[in-house]
Structure 1
């Protein structure tokens, strides 16, 4: 139930942000903004919020979300838009969504991702090697028999 609530919050907020930027500023239709928001919400929630965020911190997850958002908006807005500079449009929308994601990650950390999930992932192990002067495991026993 927590995932559904988090996805709903993410979807509604992203839809409002993207409609203001893509719809009102760049003239994209509501249906296209809705489709972009739907794909963006599901992909960035799975990758950014459920995979990257529990293993790293908020900043790394926000940077990853920025890249995901930029690529998805750029690809999905290529066909339905007559705007010449898609990169600028995608960049502005990505910055706005990333600022929202930074705040949304705090909600996800506190309410959705359990502490058990964040502590179960193995961290960098500090393995140490052991060395000795013996070349064979039984070298000491054979030397004692020969004496």
Structure 2
């Protein structure tokens, strides 16, 4: 369920940022911004946030997301629109989304680390309910010393 929440949050913030930059600033239609956001959120979450972030640090994952955003936004904007300033729109979008991704990765790391800790502690007794070992004898019985 946490993955759905994170994916929805990523989609909403990515859509808001891209709609402000591409929609308002560069006259890209609402449908095209929505389609770019849908592709970017899905690919970015599973590749950047789940695979790269889990194996590397936040900075590396942010740089990878910048490259991913730049590529996806550039090619999709170029294919879906007839504008001349595709590179400028893509650069501004990629920089803005990289800043967002840096903080989003911190949220993803906190959420998924908490989820892993819960999975690891499922079979462990909660703190306060500690148990001890007991035996019948304090010293081993030696039949030779009888």
**8 Å contact kept, 1:50–1:113:** no
Which digits, 9 at most, give the CA deviation of each residue in 1:36-61, with x for residues without a partner? 00000000101100000011100000
Residue 110 of structure 2: aligned partner:
110
Structure 1: gaps of 5 or more residues: 118-147
Using CA pairs under 8 Å that are at least 6 residues apart, name the structure with larger relative contact order, 1 or 2: 1
What root-mean-square deviation, in Å, do the aligned CA atoms of Structure 1 and Structure 2 show?
1.5
Residue 80 of structure 1: aligned partner:
80
Which digits, 9 at most, give the CA deviation of each residue in 1:65-113, with x for residues without a partner? 0000000000101122222121111010000111000000000000035
Task: Provide the rounded CA distance (Å) in 2 between the counterparts of 1:115 and 1:96.
Answer: 29
Q: Which runs of 4+ in 1 moved over 3 A?
A: 113-117
| Aligned residue runs from structure 1 range 34-53, under 5 A | 34-53=34-53
**1:24 aligned counterpart, secondary structure:** helix
Structure 2: gaps of 5 or more residues: 118-146
Task: Provide the rounded CA distance (Å) in 1 between the counterparts of 2:34 and 2:42.
Answer: 12
Task: Provide the rounded CA distance (Å) in 2 between the counterparts of 1:14 and 1:87.
Answer: 19
**8 Å contact kept, 1:10–1:41:** yes
| Aligned residue runs from structure 1 range 19-38, under 5 A | 19-38=19-38
1:34 is displaced (CA, Å) by 0.2
Q: How many residues get paired?
A: 117
Task: Provide the rounded CA distance (Å) in 2 between the counterparts of 1:32 and 1:74.
Answer: 13
Residue 12 of structure 1: aligned partner:
12
The TM-score with structure 1 as length reference comes to 0.76
